[in-house]
């Protein structure tokens, strides 16, 4: 049986948002998949020809922050 759920990693422990329907001491296999950043999710939509690391640096540069120029 497969369960897909969300969790938060805190102090070395995964905190589940909801309890699992498991018996005490039941063995499970865990696969961890991190969420992609919004920047990486939009990477293909932008038509950017460079690498994602350069795009990330540009997006996070305060020089290009619209709030900084106001």
Q: State pLDDT tens for residues 3-46.
A: 888 889 999 999 999 988 899 999 999 888 887 777 666 666 76
**Residue 35 belongs to domain spanning:** 7-64
Tell me the helices (H) and strands (E) count for the chain, helix number first: 2, 2
d(CA 24, CA 38): 38
In a domain, 1, yes or no: no
Helix (H, G, I), strand (E, B), or coil: what is residue 52?
A: helix
Q: Count how many domains the chain has.
A: 1
d(CA 16, CA 39): 26
Structure confidence at residue 69 (pLDDT): 55
In a domain, 2, yes or no: no
Is the distance from CB of 45 to CB of 52 less than 8 angstroms?
no
């Amino acid at each position: 049986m497969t369960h897909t759920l969300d969790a938060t990693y805190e102090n070395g422990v995964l905190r589940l948002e909801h309890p699992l329907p498991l018996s005490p001491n039941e063995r499970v296999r865990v696969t961890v998949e991190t969420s992609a950043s919004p920047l990486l999710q939009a990477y293909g939509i932008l038509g950017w020809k460079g690498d994602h690391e350069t795009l990330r640096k540009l997006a996070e540069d305060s020089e290009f922050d619209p709030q900084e120029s106001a």
